[in-house]
């Protein structure tokens, strides 16, 4: 089973490849990051790691234990007052294997046990039934429909105080 690892500088080459290879796939569900994201990837990663070091965010990568390929990202952002926003994405070639569900479960456990969080919020596009199913299967409850980047999405909440 792939390992969920806290994002570190050593992940940079594999993470960049993950984003490049899956760019078109991800753009089917969320707005494209744009060329600037890739042109300034090293600076962007340095900024993310600084945010992580300050405790504002917790970034994770799901890494194939055989070859070090990044198979997914599982991020906790906007950490404040015992809560954070969960975001995740899994490589197209890794879909259908339960990796998104397992990654979300693992990061929820870290959120509660390691980061002391009590609640997570996550949104998924209504046009992305697989992501909606992952949230439902990992205990998130839908709370409201919202617009994110012009797309209708369903916001979910997970109470970590009663989550195992």
Q: In three state form, how does the secondary structure of 47-109 look?
A: HHHHHHHHCCCEEEEEECCCCCCEEEEEEEEEEECCEEEEEEEECHHHCCCCHHHHHHHHHHH
Domain boundaries, the chain: 3-162
Q: What is the pLDDT of residue 31?
A: 82
Q: What is the pTM of this model?
A: 0.93
Compute the Cα dihedral for 83, 105, 128, 16 and give only its sign: positive
Decide if pLDDT at 164 tops 90. no
- CATH: 3.40.630.30, 3.40.50.12780, 1.20.1070.10, 3.40.50.300. Which one for 3-162? 3.40.630.30
Please compute the mean of the pLDDT values over residues 72-94 and round it to a whole number.
Answer: 96
State the chain's mean pLDDT as an integer: 94
Q: pLDDT-based confidence at 69, cuts 50/70/90?
A: very high
Residues 6+ apart with CB under 8 A from 39: none
Please compute the mean of the pLDDT values over residues 107-135 and round it to a whole number.
Answer: 96
Decide if pLDDT at 17 tops 70. yes
């Amino acid at each position: 089973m792939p390992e969920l690892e806290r994002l570190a500088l050593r992940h940079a080459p594999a993470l960049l490849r993950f984003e490049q290879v899956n760019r078109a796939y991800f753009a089917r569900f969320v707005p494209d990051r744009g060329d600037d994201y890739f042109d300034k990837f090293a600076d962007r990663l340095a900024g993310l790691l600084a945010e992580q070091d300050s405790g504002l965010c917790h970034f994770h990568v799901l890494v194939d234990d055989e070859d070090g390929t990044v198979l997914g990202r599982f991020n906790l952002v906007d950490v404040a007052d015992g809560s954070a926003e969960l975001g995740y994405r899994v490589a197209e070639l890794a879909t259908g294997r339960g990796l998104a569900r397992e990654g979300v479960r693992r990061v929820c456990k870290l959120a509660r046990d390691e980061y002391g969080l009590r609640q997570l919020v996550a949104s998924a596009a209504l046009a992305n039934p697989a992501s909606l199913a992952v949230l439902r299967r990992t205990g998130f409850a839908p709370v409201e429909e919202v617009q994110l980047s012009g797309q209708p999405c369903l916001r979910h909440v997970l109470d970590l105080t009663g989550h195992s």
